[in-house]
Amino acid sequence: MRQEFFDTEHYCRQCGHVLSKSGAWKHFQNDGDALGLDPSPYFSTRFYKDRYRDWGTNGATALEDYLVRTAKGDKRQPHPLIDADDYLGAYPDLLGFGPSAVLHFILHGDAEGRSPSKGFDAGFYRRCYLALGQSHPFRHYITEGSALGFLPRPTPVDAAMSREAMGAAMTGRPRPFVLVCHDAQKAGVPILTLDLARALGARGYDPVFLMGNAGPLLDRFRALGPVFILAEGWDATGLASALPQGTAALINTSAAAALALPLAQAGLDCLVLLHEMPDYIRDQGLMPDLRLAQAAGARLIASMPQISRGISPLISQGTSRGKAGPPAGAPPVGELRPGIIPPPTPLASFRRARLWRQRQDGPVFIGAGHADRRKGFDLFLDAARRIRAAQPGARFVWLGALDAWARDLANAALAGGLPLTLPGFVEDCLGWYRVADVYLLTSRQDPGPTTAIHAAAVGTPFVGYAADIGLIGLIRMTEGVGRFLPPEDEAGFVAAAVAAANSVTAGSRRDLRRLIRRETGFGPYVTALLSRFHPAADGEA
């Protein structure tokens, strides 16, 4: 069992040496155990020695003592956050494992997202801090999260303490501007929130962030202002009460609309930006939060005409059925198309993508986003196979994280010979878009989508299915940028994609870049957003 408990990489990070597995083990036996170094994320040498004073009677190290005693059937904790009794009590399917339950957690439970004790809530930690698709929450906490101040479980903070914490955070920040989003994942809404915060900071405001959960972009938020993660246990009403009444609060997307209610009730001046399509908002059960927010005085602003047209009747339905809805005389859902800041992409990234393209012998078709059913990753692969049949030299790229469903589809496509490149999420993505000939917009539901506009920003047009897509109807944004085909017209979609790839020229790319620059300016968007607050905050007041 020793090999399951000894993690060479983890140990070498602590001792500061690069050692082989056998060399690391010898170092631990001779020096590391006495120094209190841990043989793995799942065993705390100092904790074990402090708790079990008789540890030295078996074996030369605390770990060996633990293994010997466990083999005899003794129940001992290897780590303060791992408890066999708690683990067995939480998961009835593990009854009968006894002391070996800890080994199950190390080999399987952590990867499965199970909680090793009452002191560590794996579900909370995964939702709150990990990147999409990332596993082993306990290992992450021990190796990274604890040092970053992440919590092993929620710690409720009452309203008074939350008010005090917000008050302290506002010291030296005379012009607070609250920005709210649902998490800090590497996705469109959090990235837009960061862009807005930077722009507001440049205009003299002091950004302060409220978010439901954290994520891999958390450090970027913290670099711009104080961050309060509600999942950790903060009281939203207490936080809001420390801010002056009338403070501007921008709730970015309906997924965070639940936070608009306590902010509006505390007297903050709230705008809720709606970036999701109406069917998605309804299907995800977000309509009650929007109705309550509007009833409390928050104003709703849609980012696309189709969102505005579709959400207004859904909001009013809540009132007609006797449910909470907008107050009498409430303004209709507004509309304001977002500006876009193309992702910063260094010249080296363009060069790497160009070198990749030079090794291809045909047109390149690209798609992007978190690969799931809503983004139509399966439709992308279907289109790729059809395009490949029509144009054998074609190559395909998908930028974005793949969930388990998408990974299985991708593996099957690769096994079938589809020339598919999967770089994952690429922040400096413009190089990839630039070497592609056509962006394939296969989403079943997509409000923007920003990725297609990023591609157009470097001159790459799109061909899309006319599904529940926010861009449909924006003539200035789609004329010359792309073409939509009926979702059932698979043959037409393929023909249009191939034709678009064959017609791309340096001149067409140049014209498309100019159009996107003209239509998606970020500065005018920020100015327009500020004008929606009462009184209007234009950065000059």
Structure-block tokens of residue 365: 């078709």
pLDDT, tens digit, 9 for 90 and up, residues 330-375:
557 889 988 888 889 999 999 999 999 999 989 999 999 989 899 9
Q: Which residues of 255-281 are buried (b: 16+ CB within 10 A; e: fewer)?
A: bbbbbbbbbbbbebbbbbbbbbbbebb
What pLDDT, on the 0 to 100 scale, is given for residue 266? Answer: 94
What's the gap between Cα 397 and its chain centre?
Answer: 21
Question: Which CATH code is given to the segment(s) 347-520?
Answer: 3.40.50.2000
Token code pair at residue 310: 């579709």
* Helix, strand, coil content of the chain in percent (nearest 5): 50, 15, 35
119: Cβ–Cβ under 8 A, 6 or more apart, which residues?
Answer: 80, 81, 83, 152, 153
Strand ranges in 400-481 using DSSP code E only, listed in sequence order:
420-424, 438-441, 445-446, 462-465, 468-469
Q: What is the pLDDT of residue 30?
A: 92
> Residues 96-122: pLDDT tens digits?
887 788 889 999 999 999 999 999 999
Per-residue pLDDT, 539: 45
The pLDDT value recorded for residue 478 is: 61
Cβ–Cβ < 8 Å for 203, 526: yes
pTM equals 0.84
Query: How confident is the model over 134-161, as pLDDT tens digits?
Result: 899 999 999 999 999 999 999 999 999 9
Q: What is the pLDDT of residues 434-473, one digit of tens each?
A: 999 999 999 999 887 789 999 999 999 999 999 988 888 7
pLDDT recorded at residue 1: 56
For the chain, the residue count is 541
Is the predicted pLDDT of residue 17 greater than 80, yes or no?
Answer: yes
Contact criterion met (CB below 8 Å) for 469 and 304: no
Categorize the per-residue pLDDT at 57 as very low, low, confident or very high, splitting at 50, 70 and 90: confident
Give residue 90's pLDDT.
93
Distance CA 342, CA 454 (A): 6
Work out the average pLDDT over 251-274: 94
Adjacency order of strands within the sheet including 438-441: 420-424, 395-399, 364-368, 438-441, 462-465, 482-485
Per-residue pLDDT tens over the stretch 270-292? 999 999 999 999 999 999 999 99
Mean pLDDT, the chain, rounded, equals 91
Q: Do domains 159-335 and 347-520 have the same CATH topology?
A: yes
Q: What is the pLDDT of residue 541?
A: 36
The number of beta carbons lying within 10 Å of the beta carbon of residue 194 is 21
Which DSSP letter does residue 371 get? B
pLDDT at 537: 55
SS3 423: strand
Parse the chain into domains and list their residue ranges: 2-148, 159-335, 347-520
Q: Which residues contact 429 (CB under 8 A, 6 or more apart)?
A: 343, 345, 368, 399, 451, 454
Residue 265 is encoded by which pair of tokens?
Answer: 């009730």
CATH topology of domain 159-335: Rossmann fold (3.40.50)
